[in-house]
Amino acid sequence: MKPRFVDPFTPNRPVDDPERFFGRAEPVNEMIDSLYQVMSGNPKHTIVTGDRGVGKSSLLTQVHLTATGDNRLTARLKIDRGTPKFDFVTVWHDVYATQSAFDLANAILSKFENSFQKFISGFKLEIDIAGFGKLGRDKQNPINMTQLIDEFVGRMVKINQEARRADKNGILIFIDELDRIRADSMIASFFKLTCERMVREGLKNVAFVCAGITGAIQKLEDEHASVLRTFRDVPLPRFEKNEVAEILRDGFLAANHIEEVTTLAERAWDVTVGLPEPTHLLGSEMLSVDTDGILKDEDFDAAIRKIVTDVRKNKLADLLARAGGGKYQKIVKAIVEHEKKIVPLDYIAKTIGQEQSQFSTNMATLMEREIVFKPSTGYYAFTDPMLKEYIRVNGVLSLD
Ligand SMILES: Nc1ncnc2c1ncn2[C@@H]1O[C@H](COP(=O)(O)OP(=O)(O)OP(=O)(O)O)[C@@H](O)[C@H]1O
Ligand SMILES: [Mg+2]
């Protein structure tokens, strides 16, 4: 038996340890610049965008740490903060699907109430949450929106006074999973109008720091056309081959294993397409199937097998079923048959023997069901790259 070790891979949660947060020097630098701007009275609202599982929450977590005085990441990346350390008042909120602008404002305020007691002892922030009830049920009503912004900004003025008194840099409102909102939630209007109003009220050290999936963020724009101009977009790309290998090797080293996989970078990129979530999963399972402390090609293969037949089996089976029957399975099969993960539409057309126009609505449906996404015009790939491995082992559902 090999000695027991702590699994260094965390496929199930954002990276909170700055030492294990890889790459991302450019986006981190941009986010730190925003902190500096907000601190200096030049409010910059940001939105981190990227594919599912690309590392948005991890980046937000790191920015949150830095904003509250943890200098480990900026020191390691040698990024100039412009200040010895940041000291913001912060709240963090994860959006959920049924949330309206009204609910969001309320959730943020009640979190301030809690966190303020931590920062300033003996301070009680008066939030008359019940008062919001009087705004009425009709959340689409513009008078209600004006009232909501009055109430919200009015309270932010109070919170800001206390933050000033406590010598804080300002106030940051972290909002993750912004893609979950519905187009009729009025949240885009809320952001736009709140940001403008705050500046007019002299609240220039207050900013939103958000994250959400690239395509879904368009929902915000659909609701309020110019809202994305209010935010600075910080896109997060997938990792390069060498970065994927680096994440794996660093973990193997931390677990005291030797790595001898031939062309690890190529093979790992091929099954993960540069997404950190499957990369962590692969690393974790390679360590788990290995018996002798040396990671070889057969451990790589065994890990993939274990992921698709055991660890992620149910999730991948659900995903395949969610794709739909008949023609949908034919399309899915065609995607698997292509040698690359990112598949041109005309290959799919040729393989299923139809004109592109005959199945363009099917492709749209597959995107809606989050089975595939469109990395660029005319190209499709599975949202979960392990689905390809799963189908290679288990096949698709019946084709008729
Ligand atoms: N910079 C990074 N270095 C190493 N691992 C990372 C990095 N960013 C993310 N990860 C890993 O990738 C996985 C997904 O990260 P995270 O939850 O931050 O992604 P996300 O984009 O917020 O996902 P979702 O779209 O599901 O909300 C986690 O296992 C995390 O540990
Ligand atoms: Mg996330």
Q: What is the pLDDT of residue 143?
A: 58
Cβ of residue 8 lying under 6 Å from some atom of ligand 1: no
Q: Separation of 19 CA from ligand 2 center, angstroms?
A: 19
Question: Is 333 buried (19+), middle (13-18) or exposed (0-12) by CB count in 10 A?
Answer: middle
Longest dimension (CA), the chain: 72
Q: Which is more confident, 40 or 224?
A: 40
Q: 314-394, which class in CATH?
A: mainly alpha
- Centroid of chain to Cα 54: 6
**CA distances for 319 relative to 213, 215, 276, 326, angstroms:** 19, 19, 20, 15
The CA distance from 116 to 204, in Å, is 19
The CA distance from 286 to 306, in Å, is 9
Instruction: Let me know how many helices (H) and strands (E) the chain has, helices first.
Output: 18, 10
**Is the pLDDT assigned to residue 317 strictly greater than 60?**
yes
Atom of ligand 1 nearest to the CA of 22: 3
| pLDDT tens digits along 228-254 | 888 999 999 999 999 999 999 999 999
Instruction: Return the ligand number nearest the Cα of 214.
Output: 1
Atom of ligand 1 nearest to the CA of 279: 12
What are the sequence ranges of the domains in the chain? 23-235, 241-311, 314-394
**Residues near 142 by Cβ (< 8 Å), separated by ≥ 6?**
none
| CATH code for the part of the protein at 23-235 | 3.40.50.300
Residues present in the chain in total? 400
Q: Separation of 11 CA from ligand 1 center, angstroms?
A: 8
Instruction: Return the ligand number nearest the Cα of 235.
Output: 1
Residue nearest to atom 9 of ligand 1 (CA): 55
**Is the pLDDT assigned to residue 174 strictly greater than 50?**
yes
Q: Strand 343-344 relative to strand 379-382: parallel, antiparallel, unpaired? A: antiparallel
Q: What is the pLDDT of residue 142?
A: 56
Q: What average pLDDT does the chain have?
A: 89
Cβ of residue 22 lying under 6 Å from some atom of ligand 1: yes
Q: What is the pLDDT of residue 301?
A: 95
Instruction: Return the ligand number nearest the Cα of 53.
Output: 1
pTM above 0.75, yes or no: yes
Q: Separation of 137 CA from ligand 1 center, angstroms?
A: 37
The CA distance from 72 to 20, in Å, is 11
| pLDDT tens digits along 263-293 | 999 999 989 989 999 999 999 999 999 999 9
Q: Which is more confident, 106 or 390?
A: 390
The CA distance from 35 to 41, in Å, is 10
**Is the pLDDT assigned to residue 135 strictly greater than 60?**
no
Please choose from 15, 16, 311 the residue to mutate so as to test ligand 1's pocket, defined by most ligand atoms within 8 A of CB.
Answer: 15
